[in-house]
Amino acid sequence: MLYTNNFNAAQAAYNRIADTKLHFRRNGASICELFTVFDAPAGFYAFCELHGFLSCQHPDPRAVKAALQQIEAALSIQSKEVANIASHDRGFDADAALRWHGARISELLGRFKNAV
């Protein structure tokens, strides 16, 4: 039997954008809180940019991917020491939140690898 795999890049990009939209609809407030805690205006700006891209009727997958990369970079430069201080001052586990959001953003970016 002949097996053909027809990869539809446009559909894959649409699926990745839908996944990203759903993730940020559910978790956008907490990632904004992280950017506030860590005083990371570049990450917050990238988040706002991503929100604008996702609000379009037909978001550009490359722009969404670029914004996700900027958010990931803003999260990755945060130190454990700052997270511990923020955890103590604000009363929540900033280190765990940082790791969780970083993992989810990396996962979303990994999905864009074949779609863009």
**How far apart, in Å, are the Cα atoms of 16 and each of 8, 52, 59, 75, 95?**
12, 16, 11, 21, 27
Q: What is the dihedral of CA 116, 67, 105, 91, to 10 degrees?
A: -170
What ranges do the domains of the chain cover? 9-111
Residue 13, class by beta-carbon neighbours within 10 Å (0-12 exposed, 13-18 middle, 19+ buried)?
A: buried
Provide, rounded to the nearest whole percent, the portion of the chain with pLDDT above 70: 91
Structure tokens at 64: 């969404």
Quick check: helix, strand or coil at residue 47?
helix
Give the pTM.
Answer: 0.85
Q: pLDDT per residue over 80-102, tens digit each? A: 888 888 777 877 788 888 999 99
Q: Is the pLDDT confidence value at 4 over 60?
A: no
What mean pLDDT is reported for the chain? 87
- Binning pLDDT at 50, 70 and 90, where does residue 39 land? confident
